[in-house]
Chain A
Amino acid sequence: MSASQSAVRSRAEAVKVSRTFDYLIIWTLFMVLIGGYHIHFMLTGGDWDFWSDWKDRRLWVTVVPIVSITFPAAVQAMAWSRYRLPFGATLCVLGLLLGEWINRYLNFWGWTYFPVNFVFPSNLVPGAILLDVVLMLSGSFTLTAVLGGMAWGLVFYPGNWPIIAPLHIPIEYNGMMFTLADLQGYHYVRTGTPEYIRMVEKGTLRTFGKDVAPVSAFFSAFVSILIYFLWHFFGNWFSQTRFVQST
Chain B
Amino acid sequence: MAATTESVKADAAEAPLLNTRNLYAGLGLYLVFYVWVRWYEGVYGWSAGLDSFAPEFEIYWMNFLYIEIVLEILTASVLWGVIWKTRDRNVMSITPREELRRHFTHWIWLACYGWALYWGGSYFTEQDGTWHQTIVRDTDFTPSHIIEFYLSYPIYIITGVASFLYAKTRLPHYQQGLSLMYMVAVIGPFMILPNVGLNEWGHTFWFMEELFVAPLHYGFVFFGWSALGVLGVVNTECEAIGKLLKKDLV
Contacts and interface: CB of A to CB of B under 8 A. Distances in A.
Is A in direct contact with B (CB under 8 Å) within the complex?
yes
Given A14-B249, A192-B209, A240 B97 contact: no
A48 B220 CA distance: 18
B63 to A, nearest CB: 21
Contact of A192 (B92, B132, B176, B228): B132
Interface string B227-250: 111111011111101001101110
Contacts of A37: 227
B209 A243 contact: no
Which of B41, B125, B217, B230 has the most chain A CB atoms closer than 10 A to its own CB? B230
A182 interface: no
A165 interface: no
A81 to B, nearest CB: 10
B136 interface: yes
Q: List 9 tightest A-B contacts by C-beta distance, closest first.
A: A36-B227, A35-B121, A31-B114, A243-B177, A14-B248, A99-B122, A35-B117, A7-B96, A192-B210
Nearest to A239: B231
B151 interface: no
Interface of B: 7, 11, 17-18, 38, 41-42, 45, 92-97, 99-100, 103-104, 107, 110-111, 113-115, 117-118, 120-123, 125-127, 129-137, 156, 172, 174, 176-181, 184-185, 189, 192, 209-213, 217-218, 220-221, 224-232, 234-239, 241, 244-245, 247-249
B11 A240 contact: no
Interface string A1-15: 111011111110111
Contact of B231 (A74, A108, A192, A197): A74
A103 B127 contact: yes
A100 B130 contact: no
Interface in A26-49: 27-40, 42-48
A47 B213 contact: yes
Contact of A42 (B125, B137, B176, B209): B125
A238 B176 CA distance: 19
Given A29-B230, A42-B212, A36 B133 contact: no
A25 interface: yes
Interface stretch (A16-24, A123-131, A201-209): A16-24
24 contacts: A1-B92, A7-B244, A21-B241, A27-B114, A33-B230, A35-B122, A35-B156, A36-B224, A43-B220, A44-B213, A45-B213, A50-B212, A71-B228, A78-B231, A103-B122, A103-B127, A103-B130, A107-B130, A112-B131, A191-B133, A235-B228, A239-B181, A242-B179, A246-B177
